[in-house]
Amino acid sequence: MPRISLVEKVHRILAGHLPSGGLSIDATAGNGHDTLFLAERTGPAGHVYSFDIQAKAIHATRELLQRAGLRNRVTLIHAGHETLLEHLPGQVIGKIHAATFNLGYLPGGDKTLITSTATTIPALSATCQVLAPGGCITIMVYPGHPGGEREAAAVNRWCRQLDSCLFTLHKTTLRHCRRQPPELLFIRKKQP
C-alpha cells in the first residue's frame, strides 16, 4: 500500500469538511497551493480567506489563482494570521468550515522569516472562534528548522488545553522520514 504524504492527508481532511459553497481560511498562504486547493474545493459559491505576512507569498498565491481562473473565489489578505478576526467579515464568524495552517517558513523564501508562537497561538485561538460546528483546523508543524521545535511544542501544549467537550484532537507524525519529522494536528469542532 503506497504511503500518502502529510500534505495529501491535510487535503483529504479539508475536503471532507469543506462542502461546495463552503467558507475556509488558509492562515499561511505561502506559495498558494493550499489556497488553490481550497478554492477548487469550495466551488464558485464558496469563498477562501488567505493570509500571509509576506508580499512575496501574496503575489505568488495571486498568480497561481489567476492561472487557474479562481482569483474571484479568494480574498488575499496581506497581514499576519493573528489578525484574522480584524479582517474577516462579521457574517462569516461561526461559519468557517475549514482552516489550514502550514507553519514554518516560505518554501523558496527567506528561511529566517518564520511563523512564531507569538502569532500562531493567537491565530489558532481566533480560528476556533470562527469555526462552524463540525468545522476543522489542520496544523502542519515542522520542528526540524531553527525555531520550529519551540513552536511545535507550544502548538502541542495549546492543542492539549482545548476543551474536549467542544473539540476533538488527532495527531499524525511521519516517523519514517527524518530525525525531527513534521507533525499534522487535526482539530474538529464538535456538533452541538
Tell me whether residue 104 is in a domain: yes
Q: What is the mean pLDDT of residues 90-95?
A: 97
Question: What's the confidence (pLDDT) of residue 185?
Answer: 93
Please write the tens of the pLDDT for every residue from 142-192.
Answer: 887 777 789 889 999 999 999 999 999 998 876 655 577 788 999 999 988
Tell me whether residue 69 is in a domain: yes
List the one residue out of 112, 109, 110, 125 whose CA is nearest residue 27. 125
Domain range for 96 is 6-189
Tell me whether residue 116 is in a domain: yes
DSSP 164: T
Strand 23-26 to 96-102 pairing: parallel
Tell me whether residue 163 is in a domain: yes
Say if residues 166 and 189 touch (Cβ distance below 8 Å): yes
Calculate the CA dihedral of residues 127, 48, 109, 80 and round it to 10 degrees.
Answer: -40
Tell me whether residue 152 is in a domain: yes
Question: What's the confidence (pLDDT) of residue 178?
Answer: 57
Question: What's the confidence (pLDDT) of residue 144?
Answer: 76
Tell me whether residue 1 is in a domain: no
CA 36 to chain centre: 12
Tell me whether residue 115 is in a domain: yes
Question: What's the confidence (pLDDT) of residue 97?
Answer: 98
Strands of 167-173's sheet in order across: 74-78, 47-52, 23-26, 96-102, 131-141, 183-189, 167-173
Q: What is the mean pLDDT of residues 122-133?
A: 97
Torsion region of 38: left, alpha or beta (phi above 0 gives left; psi -120 to 50 gives alpha): alpha
CA angle (22 as vertex; 86, 41 as ends), nearest 5: 115
Question: What's the confidence (pLDDT) of residue 115?
Answer: 83
Please write the tens of the pLDDT for every residue from 36-92.
Answer: 999 999 999 999 999 999 999 999 999 999 999 999 999 999 999 999 999 999 999
CATH of the domain at 92: 3.40.50.150
Per-residue pLDDT band for 1 (boundaries 50, 70, 90) equals very low
Task: Say how many domains are in the chain.
Answer: 1
Tell me whether residue 182 is in a domain: yes
